[in-house]
A and B are shown apart, each in its own frame.
Chain A
Amino acid sequence: MSAASYDKLIFELSSPGRVAYSLPESDVPTSDARSLLPEAYLRAEAPRLPEVSEFDVVRHYSRLSQLNYGVDTHFYPLGSCTMKYNPKINEDMARVAGFARLHPLAPEALSQGALRLMHELAAMLAEIAGMDAVSLQPAAGAQGELAGVLMIRAYHAARGEKRTKVLVPDSAHGTNPASTALAGYEVVEVKSQPNGEVDLDELARHLDTDVAAFMITVPNTLGMFEPRIVEITELCHAKGVQVYMDGANLNAILGITRPGDLGFDVCHFNLHKTFTTPHGGGGPGAGPVGVKAHLEPFLPVPVVTKDGDRYALDWKRPQSIGKLQAFWGNFGMHVRAYTYIRTMGADGLRSVADNAILNANYIMKRLEKAYDVAVPGPCMHECVVSARRQKKLGVTATDIAKRLLDLGFYAPSTYFPLIVEEALMIEPTETEAKETLDAFCDAMIQIARETETSPQVVQDAPVTTPVRRLDQTRAAREPDLRWSPAAK
């Protein structure tokens, strides 16, 4: 049976009596735990979990893994997600017992190494972004956004200002408006210019005393640097408006320019993008948030502090927005990002940005004839092309994405940003070599040619993957969200 045709769920392997675990016999006098607890609290029926052997488990999940494309096995140009190589040493370090087996409430005096790592990582991120202070607590970019916007809200409130709106460009990632709304603000969408840049007149029209913040991604979601960004932050500040930078695209500017120097008051980092912590099939990530000094009192508690050579968790911060996670953040990701930054150093990080930019421009150049480039280059770390020409021939961005799967590549992000028709957002990252980029561009050009000569091949794709196109409508109309024996 080929790897691709594997079609089992663990429940379907179950055979009563098999075991995969190894637990000791009880060494304490009371072995019948059930006698210790009142009947009413006890489970009437053992949970219906599978009964399999250890080898069943290992083979099943190994085979399931083979149904996936990952960065280790495939070029994964998913724009905005920075799918770069995830160094193996990061994984080794995160698994050292002193980190992986450390309880979050171990006494402070006995967690000094972990606290020091967090303190140093926060300082390095602050330097990279030109910010005054960084909290590592947010669990992902979206939670960093929530923290940042809540700090802005607390800042205005502390000054006795009641501002109710946050401006977000129409090119923004969905989490920007979602986080802003969650923080209690009315979200006002600001129309971008056709080239994706902020329209300063349009922005100026919206800026009034009711606006708390302007939230913007730099480089923007078209992969372009905002040429007038300093004017933008100045314009906002003149109206008492705080400026938030979505740092999802920080990879492009490492060592080149810094959010703090551009005038931003807050920015978040996605450690799972720029700083090589793995994406894990959807997470975990980490979304530290950096602020300028005037927002420091509002940082989430606790803050990791250093006094002499002692590190501590400071909870006495009366103006704090509170907590976002039960403990101190996704520490396992902090270890990985720390390992990465210490591997690269300042020059290394700068070459990351340079090569990410070089790779993206190379792709843009090679594709500019076959596809409509959304905005003329040069671009930063990613480029957006539109399949509007192909669409006229009946081939959509989705079709192109699917055909790429057949040709051995994961797909770019599609239909994002929303302001580009039939968008394909391509982010190669610095870790890919020229020959991979060439192979990918050859495939893209081949698809453009197929669109003209044999569109059916593109529309029918994929045919080499474990399954072909899936019926999304059926999935949503009759949600089948859990396995049951009857369903078989």
Chain B
Amino acid sequence: MASRYIANTPAEQDQMLRVIGAASVEELLVKIPPKARLSRPLALPPALAETDLIRHLKTLADANADADRYACFLGAGSYDHYVPSPINHLVLRGEFFTAYTPYQPEASQGTLRTIYEYQTMIAELTGMDVANASIYDGASSVAEAVLMAHAATERTEVVVSHGVNPLYRRVTATYCEGPRMRLRDAGAPGGTTDLAAATRLCGPKTAALVVQSPNFYGCLEDIASAAEIAHAAGAVLIVVADPVNLGVLEAPGKLGADLVVGEGQGLGVPMSFGGPNLGVFAAKRELVRRMPGRLVGATVDRDGRRGFVLTLQTREQHIRRAKATSNICTNVALCALMATIYLATLGRHGLVKVGELSAAKAHYAARRLTALSGVSLRFQAPFFKEFTLKLPKPPDRVVARLAKERILAGVPLKAFDRALADCLLVAVTEKRTKEEIDAFAQALERAVV
């Protein structure tokens, strides 16, 4: 049967074969050794017509607890923030989403300009000089930052706060396997990095100190002190930040960070079961020639008109090959475009409002929930939009129970840290309503008594 994605008819195929001088496509496969040929059709499920396929996929989708049908208090690196309507319409313009890396800048000024805008916005939010066009996700952006610090300092150890998202730490460990870097863990028993331990661990072998703020437990870190510790050891300070918070929270660059990385999913990118996400990567000017990934720069054309190009490409794999600063090629440009449109839409005041609303609702939720007997905040440090609750009943069971009332209560921390087996990580964005928070509190009360 004809496929709707293949235009050429059998008659046209014959015409083409005649031009080529072959009797059939089979004749074009002469270089494939017969014994290497697949002698049967692929064993795949049967093709489905569009209407049947939609029905099938909707059945799969219906088996998932999405944030339209459930009140979502889940975070830990993916958040249910407001996504303004224009984003989806604009990224679906074929000129954007069916183009590729702007290798021919004259025919790619749309993509190049949006990336330049994106770089500008991210640099502004993070307080850095430059941002790249994106890394896969928050986790690999941390890993790439560590490798970059390793190359810049020629040192072999990295001190990572225990407050850094454990999934990010795991990915960083994978990336550090090749260069055999040693990861050293600076504890965070009180919810924030043990700065005395960090000081002890940072020394002449330390390439970087990595802290996250707000950290995995939701607590705000003392970035300025971390900077002092890193810099005293001659190491780079890498700060993991969520850019959606940076309308309200101070830019890490202003507090001494040398590299700011993190997950930008909150900037208008759907949660989509964890990917694609948006790896944010920003640096001080001195480090730009060691950065991974694409960079877009402004220049002029032959007639002196402003234009934009991929630049400083001698860092990259297609030129430097085994000596490239990173192996990244395809990145997450369309997610960066979503973030650009998001930040243009929210603008100077909207992003501040998102942060203020999230923080206000999170603090209200914390107050409501900790008013229940046996429920308390696990850590005393200030938090922003996410916090760690200690529960009197196993968090797994509490979560399952609240799910019956269409509430996704939070992320049980047992799988991440045995010491926190009685804890639940709760995130509250500006989208949650007082009504949902109150319902959460009432349901939790029933679940823990």
Mask: chain B, 1-43; 1 = CB below 8 Å from A; 0 = not: 1010111100011011101111001011111110111100111
Check B63 against A331 for contact (C-beta < 8 Å).
Answer: no
Q: B111 at interface (Cβ–Cβ under 8 A)?
A: yes
User: How close is B363's CB to chain A, nearest CB, in angstroms?
Assistant: 5
Chain B residues within 8 Å of A57, by CB? 86, 90, 341, 344-345
Mask: chain B, 345-365; 1 = CB below 8 Å from A; 0 = not: 111111111111101110110
Check B60 against A116 for contact (C-beta < 8 Å).
Answer: yes
Cα separation A198 to B13 with both chains bound (whole Å) = 32
Interface stretch of the complex, out of B194-202, B231-239, B247-255, B370-378: B247-255
Check B307 against A470 for contact (C-beta < 8 Å).
Answer: yes
> Beyond A101-B271, A279-B99, is A87–B359 a contact (Cβ under 8 Å)?
no
Interface residues of A in 13-53 (CB under 8 A from B): 14, 18-24, 26-34, 36-38, 40-44, 46-52
Q: B140 at interface (Cβ–Cβ under 8 A)?
A: yes
* Count of residues in A whose CB is under 8 Å from the partner chain: 216
Check B103 against A413 for contact (C-beta < 8 Å).
Answer: yes
Check B74 against A70 for contact (C-beta < 8 Å).
Answer: no
Mask: chain A, 450-478; 1 = CB below 8 Å from B; 0 = not: 00000000000010011111111011100
Mask: chain A, 323-366; 1 = CB below 8 Å from B; 0 = not: 11111111111010011011111111111101101110110011
Interface stretch of the complex, out of B155-163, B167-175, B203-211: B167-175
Among A83, A96, A349, A481, contact of B44 (Cβ-Cβ < 8 Å): A349
> Beyond A58-B90, A467-B105, is A365–B359 a contact (Cβ under 8 Å)?
no
* Count of residues in B whose CB is under 8 Å from the partner chain: 212
Interface stretch of the complex, out of A73-81, A200-208, A236-244, A386-394: A73-81
Task: Using CB atoms, name the residue of chain B closest to A110.
Answer: B65
Q: A104 at interface (Cβ–Cβ under 8 A)?
A: yes
User: How close is A178's CB to chain B, nearest CB, in angstroms?
Assistant: 4
Chain A residues within 8 Å of B64, by CB? 98-99, 102, 106, 110-114
User: How close is B358's CB to chain A, nearest CB, in angstroms?
Assistant: 8
User: How close is A425's CB to chain B, nearest CB, in angstroms?
Assistant: 11
> Beyond A230-B33, A326-B165, A481-B130, is A100–B331 a contact (Cβ under 8 Å)?
no
Q: B260 at interface (Cβ–Cβ under 8 A)?
A: no
Q: B300 at interface (Cβ–Cβ under 8 A)?
A: yes
> Beyond A42-B248, A465-B107, is A256–B299 a contact (Cβ under 8 Å)?
no
Chain A residues within 8 Å of B307, by CB? 466-467, 470
> Beyond A43-B247, A284-B331, is A358–B28 a contact (Cβ under 8 Å)?
yes
Q: A314 at interface (Cβ–Cβ under 8 A)?
A: no
Check A7 against B306 for contact (C-beta < 8 Å).
Answer: yes
Check A23 against B430 for contact (C-beta < 8 Å).
Answer: yes
> Beyond A345-B45, A470-B106, is A333–B276 a contact (Cβ under 8 Å)?
yes
Cα separation A263 to B340 with both chains bound (whole Å) = 45
Chain A residues within 8 Å of B109, by CB? 64, 67-68, 465-467
User: How close is B327's CB to chain A, nearest CB, in angstroms?
Assistant: 4
Check A282 against B65 for contact (C-beta < 8 Å).
Answer: no
Cα separation A339 to B430 with both chains bound (whole Å) = 33
Check A101 against B68 for contact (C-beta < 8 Å).
Answer: yes
Cα separation A234 to B137 with both chains bound (whole Å) = 38
Chain A residues within 8 Å of B320, by CB? 174, 178
Check B7 against A49 for contact (C-beta < 8 Å).
Answer: no
Check A339 against B271 for contact (C-beta < 8 Å).
Answer: no
User: How close is A42's CB to chain B, nearest CB, in angstroms?
Assistant: 6
Chain B residues within 8 Å of A100, by CB? 66, 270-272
Task: Using CB atoms, name the residue of chain B closest to A136.
Answer: B275
Chain B residues within 8 Å of A465, by CB? 106-107, 109
User: How close is B91's CB to chain A, nearest CB, in angstroms?
Assistant: 8
Interface residues of B in 289-347 (CB under 8 A from A): 294-303, 305-309, 311-314, 316-324, 326-335, 337, 340-341, 343-347
Check A345 against B171 for contact (C-beta < 8 Å).
Answer: no
Cα separation A100 to B347 with both chains bound (whole Å) = 25
User: How close is B90's CB to chain A, nearest CB, in angstroms?
Assistant: 5
Among A50, A255, A282, contact of B41 (Cβ-Cβ < 8 Å): A255
Chain A residues within 8 Å of B167, by CB? 323, 326-327
Chain B residues within 8 Å of A288, by CB? none
Check A326 against B42 for contact (C-beta < 8 Å).
Answer: no
Chain A residues within 8 Å of B67, by CB? 97, 101-103
Check B42 against A346 for contact (C-beta < 8 Å).
Answer: yes
Chain A residues within 8 Å of B281, by CB? none
User: How close is A37's CB to chain B, nearest CB, in angstroms?
Assistant: 6
Q: A321 at interface (Cβ–Cβ under 8 A)?
A: yes
> Beyond A19-B349, A230-B33, A470-B301, is A281–B68 a contact (Cβ under 8 Å)?
no
Chain B residues within 8 Å of A341, by CB? 44
User: How close is B401's CB to chain A, nearest CB, in angstroms?
Assistant: 11
> Beyond A50-B347, A332-B275, is A103–B106 a contact (Cβ under 8 Å)?
no
Q: B419 at interface (Cβ–Cβ under 8 A)?
A: no
Check B78 against A175 for contact (C-beta < 8 Å).
Answer: no
Q: A95 at interface (Cβ–Cβ under 8 A)?
A: yes
> Beyond A97-B69, A468-B303, is A66–B110 a contact (Cβ under 8 Å)?
yes
Task: Using CB atoms, name the residue of chain A closest to B167.
Answer: A326
Q: A446 at interface (Cβ–Cβ under 8 A)?
A: no
Cα separation A409 to B91 with both chains bound (whole Å) = 22
Task: Using CB atoms, name the residue of chain B closest to A181.
Answer: B322
> Beyond A102-B64, A183-B177, is A142–B54 a contact (Cβ under 8 Å)?
no
> Beyond A37-B359, A105-B74, is A471–B364 a contact (Cβ under 8 Å)?
no
Q: A445 at interface (Cβ–Cβ under 8 A)?
A: no
Chain A residues within 8 Å of B337, by CB? 280-281
Among B54, B105, B168, B384, contact of A470 (Cβ-Cβ < 8 Å): B105
Chain B residues within 8 Å of A105, by CB? 74, 76, 78, 274, 411
Cα separation A99 to B147 with both chains bound (whole Å) = 33
Check A44 against B250 for contact (C-beta < 8 Å).
Answer: yes
Cα separation A50 to B124 with both chains bound (whole Å) = 11
Q: A225 at interface (Cβ–Cβ under 8 A)?
A: yes
Chain B residues within 8 Å of A1, by CB? none
Check A279 against B275 for contact (C-beta < 8 Å).
Answer: no
Check A476 against B311 for contact (C-beta < 8 Å).
Answer: yes
Check A140 against B330 for contact (C-beta < 8 Å).
Answer: yes
Cα separation A140 to B293 with both chains bound (whole Å) = 13
Cα separation A314 to B361 with both chains bound (whole Å) = 35
Cα separation A414 to B42 with both chains bound (whole Å) = 34
Check B434 against A46 for contact (C-beta < 8 Å).
Answer: no
Check B327 against A175 for contact (C-beta < 8 Å).
Answer: yes
Chain B residues within 8 Å of A322, by CB? 170-171, 173-174, 177
Check B58 against A96 for contact (C-beta < 8 Å).
Answer: yes
User: How close is A319's CB to chain B, nearest CB, in angstroms?
Assistant: 13
With A127-B42, A180-B322 given, can you name 4 additional A-B contacts, CB distance below 8 Å?
A41-B220, A42-B248, A327-B277, A348-B5
A-B contact pairs, 22 of them (CB 8 A): A22-B84, A50-B347, A57-B341, A70-B98, A72-B95, A86-B97, A97-B68, A106-B74, A110-B64, A142-B329, A143-B327, A153-B177, A178-B317, A183-B177, A283-B334, A325-B275, A326-B168, A326-B274, A328-B274, A467-B301, A467-B306, A481-B311
Please name the 7 residue pairs, one residue from A and one from B, whose CB atoms are nearest each other, closest first: A327-B274, A98-B61, A72-B94, A345-B47, A104-B274, A280-B334, A282-B333
